[in-house]
Amino acid sequence: MGKQKKTRKYATMKRMLSLRDQRLKEKDRLKPKNKEKKDPSVLKGREVPQHPSCLFFQYNTQLGPPYHILVDTNFINFSIKAKLDLVQSMMDCLYAKCIPCITDCVMAETEKLGRKYRVALRIAKDPRFERLPCTHKGTYADDCLVQRVTQRKCYIVATVDRDLKRRIRKIPGVPIMYISNHRYNIERMPDDYGAPRF
């Protein structure tokens, strides 16, 4: 006589007590949820984001010469391809003194790109560029730029990246500088500041 083969039962679980079971002690039981009755006479509160005081009639009053321009990695790369000097072309676009600013995240992103982008790295280390330290974790440059622009509306963002442009357009009062037809253009800039309109 051979051994009797025992068939395995698949997908079987141990039966567990519910946390509301009467056999559990009072302290171990799950408390029943009390549904709050809503009073129809109470007005419903709505949270509306507070707009910054610098936006007066949707024009940003914090913008003014000298302009501080946050530069993205791909903006430097496309400027090199279009054979444009960054600082001089910015001044030609805005008719005022421009201070290009570069964050630690953008610098780290440029360094990660390797030997192919060493010219862009050399331009980013130019002493005319103002270096902005980052305090957050991670080195994702797009999030860094969006966060910085949301906190302070005194920057113009220079980028060619479509996704970043789309994200920045949702923030009111932040102009975007981009490259088209081998020159710098600016969008969402008030007319009073001398920016050319195309």
90-101 residue pLDDT tens: 999 998 999 999
Angle 89-91-93 from CA coordinates, rounded to 5°: 70
Give the per-residue pLDDT at 64. Answer: 82
Give the per-residue pLDDT at 26. Answer: 79
- Give me the domains of the chain, ranges plus CATH numbers: 68-190 (3.40.50.1010)
pLDDT band at 175 (very low <50, low <70, confident <90, very high): very high
* pTM recorded for the entire structure: 0.70
Is residue 105 packed enough to be buried (19+ CB in 10 Å), middle (13-18) or exposed (0-12)? buried
pLDDT band at 190 (very low <50, low <70, confident <90, very high): low
pLDDT, tens only, 44-58: 667 666 767 777 655
